[in-house]
Amino acid sequence: MPRFDLRNKGQAGVPFYTPAQEPAAGTAALPAAAPTLFQPLRMRGVELHNRLVVSPMCQYSADDGHLTDFHLVHLGQFALHGAGLVVVEASAVEPRGRISPQDSGLWTDSQIAPLRRIVDFVHSQNTGAGIQLAHAGRKASTLAPWISDSARRELADEAHGGWPGHVFGPSAIPFSEDHAAPRELSVDDIRGLVQSFAESAVRAVKAGFDVIEIHGAHGYLVTSFLSPLSNVRTAPGRGLGPIVTMLTDMQRRTDDYGGSFENRTRFLREVVAAVRAVVPDDMPLWLRISATEWMEHAGAPSWDLEQSIRLAKLLPAWGIDVLDVSSGGNNSQQKIARRRTYQTDLAREIRRALRADGIDLLIGTVGSIDDAEFARHVVQEGPEQSADLALSARQFLRDPQWVLNAAHKLNVPVKWPNQYHRAGPKEVRKAFL
């Protein structure tokens, strides 16, 4: 055998030629000696080459739920530059589940092909591809942020592609005065939505995704079921007032989907079960939650850290492999205790509670993870570890090469893309000869 392989080997499993990235960009030259941030992590049948994950981020740029060349370039650049996992933005399981008329969707088979194109490119870089399945619930039918900010309005009406008369949630309580007034879901409606999540998951598998995340955060449909502030039954003619916590127990939803913790988590549990039943056994299933809705000041029951910990302890038995911790977004009167660690602290508390009970559920977290030292601190193995995975969104928008730049700042030699090899730091070129 020759000492050197002189072939410009192609990447296997993709429908076009591109040089094989072996190992993937962003892989440490000596993983065992690298910070935890640059060590591999296995979840079921998927192994990530580092712990830096591109968080789902809405781009308000889809065509009737179909992703376009914009998304190929937008997401492809992160795979090219070394992310451990690239997650496609919140993709609605039905048209009425979009946040905006230009959101991604996975409610019909024609949406598979453009997603498959993105997955193929991500895989061509030897990187994992994920997708977040979502339903906006009572926060649906809104305008893209750059339009709403300039127009000083949130709601997208029919003239602008919206569906304000067909927005719904667990209760007939709008998110805010400038959002649509939702109708309350019936039990039959709920069962139909559970099936919609399962059907979208089947399409995600057909598109080739490695990971599926269920969106249960930020005030969208799953969140609004979890919270006793949004999962209530309003009395006819009763004004909502400035704080919906004024509603009495007699006005709470009285069926199997409201009231107790078990009932408020039932919709989520059924969605997880339906998705887990239709995806391969070796496919990791993630869940994103808001660990608190930051409404403790209201003086009435709300979704909080204690309930998130209680939920987290149930998740492994449901088939969840990673809990992705965020916060807020379910009430316009939230009061966030803003500091750099306001979300990573929540993740650390959940992770500690799980480990104290001998539960090894992996934890991801997002929020202000925008420099190398902080990312390293968040996931570094030890008593202060907050999470096993560091998710970022805006930092990747600011710096698509953030994985490579973070590695350089931390003095960790990592692989660069083959085609960019000559531009890498000298120590990197030497390490991967």
Quote the percentage of the chain above a pLDDT of 70.
95
More confident site: 351 or 248:
351
Contact by Cβ (8 Å): 237, 164: no
Please provide residue 129's backbone torsions phi and psi, each rounded to the nearest 5 degrees: -120, 130
Which amino acid type is present at position 230? S
Q: Quick one: tokens of 191? A: 């069962």
DSSP-derived letter for residue 161 is T
Residue 390 has pLDDT above 60, yes or no: yes
Which amino acid type is present at position 23? P
pLDDT at 365: 98
75 Cβ contact partners less than 8 Å away, ≥ 6 residues apart: 54, 86, 88, 118, 121, 122
The strand ranges marked E within 104-162 are 104-105, 128-134
Burial-class residue 260 by CB neighbours within 10 Å (0-12, 13-18, 19+).
exposed
Residue 310 pLDDT grade (very low, low, confident, very high; cuts 50, 70, 90): very high
Q: Which of 70-74, 154-158, 250-254, 351-355 has the lowest mean pLDDT?
A: 250-254
Which amino acid type is present at position 56? P
DSSP-derived letter for residue 414 is B
Which residue in 131, 144, 135, 133 sits closest to 54, CA to CA? 131
Task: Tell me the pLDDT of the chain averaged across its residues.
Answer: 94
Average pLDDT over residues 207-223: 98
Q: Note if the pTM is more than 0.85.
A: yes
Average pLDDT over residues 163-184: 96
142 Cβ contact partners less than 8 Å away, ≥ 6 residues apart: 99, 100, 148, 154, 155, 156, 162, 179
DSSP-derived letter for residue 142 is B
Which amino acid type is present at position 140? A
Residue 28 has pLDDT above 70, yes or no: yes
3-class DSSP assignment, residue 268: helix
Residue 423 has pLDDT above 70, yes or no: yes
Q: Among this protein's residues, is 220 annotated catalytic?
A: yes
Residue 90 has pLDDT above 60, yes or no: yes
Domains of the chain (ranges plus CATH)?
A: 36-400 (3.20.20.70)
Q: Quick one: tokens of 19? A: 């040089």
Average pLDDT over residues 257-283: 98
pLDDT in tens, 102-126: 999 999 999 999 999 999 999 999 9
Average pLDDT over residues 210-238: 86
Burial-class residue 319 by CB neighbours within 10 Å (0-12, 13-18, 19+).
middle
Q: Quick one: tokens of 377? A: 């601190």
Report the alpha-carbon angle 142-144-149, nearest 5.
95
Which residue in 182, 263, 193 sits closest to 228, CA to CA? 263
210 Cβ contact partners less than 8 Å away, ≥ 6 residues apart: 46, 85, 128, 129, 130, 283, 284
Average pLDDT over residues 355-366: 98
Residue 379 has pLDDT above 50, yes or no: yes
Average pLDDT over residues 398-411: 98
3-class DSSP assignment, residue 377: helix
Residue 394 pLDDT grade (very low, low, confident, very high; cuts 50, 70, 90): very high
Residue 386 has pLDDT above 80, yes or no: yes
Residue 250 has pLDDT above 50, yes or no: no
Residue 427 has pLDDT above 90, yes or no: no
Residue 244 pLDDT grade (very low, low, confident, very high; cuts 50, 70, 90): very low
Which amino acid type is present at position 38? F
Average pLDDT over residues 64-93: 98
Q: Which H helix or E strand runs over 91?
A: strand 85-92
**Of 17, 60, 220, 342, catalytic:** 220
